[in-house]
Structure 1
Amino acid sequence: MTSFRHRPRRLPALVLLIAAAGCTTADDGAPVAVPSPDAKAAGLCRNLDSALPPTVDGLEREDPSPASKLTAGWGNPVIILRCGVERPAEMDDPAADGVEVDGVGWQLLRQDDGGFRFTTALREAYVEVTIPAERADGGMAPLVDLAPAVKKAIPEGIAS
């Protein structure tokens, strides 16, 4: 895994070239799918919701609809966090790209629209962060802001 300790301004070109294609982000104002984790993961996700920062990459928290302790958002176009998501099938790919940001490992998937989807690895619940293409210039800066909350609320381990 690549390690990033500072707030990068842009994703390195190499990462952009080797990142796998992923899903598209939700349209602005469109409802966000709320995950349906088991009771253990749901409890961890509620703890994460309480630990999340009020701003991410300088953007104010503006949660998507429907309201849920399992989802959060910042800015417009919105950076979306969903906690308790299913393990992405792409994690089975040994060539999948990953990064480490301040002690939290993330799988990186480039989306067809130029945005990114990051999913935590080696945590007891999967946390997904979707960064829309319009915010991709900020690189992994949102993950720098989110890593302390993830480390505090979601213990290291393997999600069930």
Structure 2
Amino acid sequence: MNLFRSRLFGHPALVLLIFATGCSSADDSASAAVPSPGTLVTKLCQNLDERLPPKVDGLDREDPEPRSTLTAGWGGPAIILRCGVERPPKMTDPKVAEGHDPDAVAGGVNGVDWLMEEGDNGSYRFTSASRVAYVEVTVREGQDTSAVLVDLASAVKKAIPEGIAD
């Protein structure tokens, strides 16, 4: 049984961490490693790319290098999306599912479940859960993480069906 799915996402810490973001980063370079998923996931990710909004949290779409339909970005390096990533190890960690891991919190936003992990540099990484493909969104320090996830939820729901990713 997938422990991550066994406990649904009503964790109050997620709400607090989503709204607790601070100052912006001075790094203006935008790059992202392109995932290498199988054929089915690649097609789903290409479908997601077509549905992504032109603006997220008020920032214009500026895709990272190298260009790929599996990656997208907004505001230079502020928000980076990668589709078709591997399942994060924390996603199957029983401490996360039970809400006992301070470094990772599970929660849902507008019908999309996410695993949230805080980075060392004040950024947050969200990985979709309960979807056929994993979508990772990295949000730099200073961005409104709740607005980012709200802005992306509709596209993820339409392009990536619910289910368990391989």
Q: What TM-score, normalized to structure 2?
A: 0.80
Match of 2:152 in 1: 146
Contact 2:18 / 2:145 at 8 angstroms: preserved in 1?
no
Which deviations, in whole Å up to 9, do the C-alpha atoms of 1:5-34 show, x marking residues without a partner? xxxxx9515997xxxxxxxx9x53253100
Contact 1:77 / 1:134 at 8 angstroms: preserved in 2?
no
Contact 1:11 / 1:139 at 8 angstroms: preserved in 2?
no
1:19-38 aligned within 5 A: 28-38=28-38
Which deviations, in whole Å up to 9, do the C-alpha atoms of 1:71-106 show, x marking residues without a partner? 000013420000000000111212221110000000
- For the residues of structure 2 that align with 1:101 and 1:148, how far apart are their CA atoms? 10
**Percent of residue pairs bearing the same amino acid type:** 56
Alignment CA distance shift 1:62-1:13 (3 Å): closer
Q: For residue 122 of structure 2, give the secondary structure of its aligned residue in structure 1.
A: coil
Match of 1:108 in 2: 116
Structure with the higher fraction of residues in strand conformation: 1
Give me the CA root mean square deviation. 2.3
| Count of residue pairs brought into register by the alignment | 144
Match of 1:73 in 2: 73
Match of 1:130 in 2: 138
Specify which structure has the bigger relative contact order, considering alpha-carbon pairs within 8 angstroms and separated by 6 or more residues.
1
Unaligned runs of 5+ in 2: 1-8, 97-104
Contact 1:3 / 1:101 at 8 angstroms: preserved in 2?
no
Alignment CA distance shift 1:112-1:153 (3 Å): same
Contact 1:72 / 1:80 at 8 angstroms: preserved in 2?
yes
- CA shift at 1:38, angstroms? 0.6
- For the residues of structure 1 that align with 2:17 and 2:53, how far apart are their CA atoms? 29
Contact 1:117 / 1:129 at 8 angstroms: preserved in 2?
yes
Unaligned runs of 5+ in 1: 5-9, 17-24
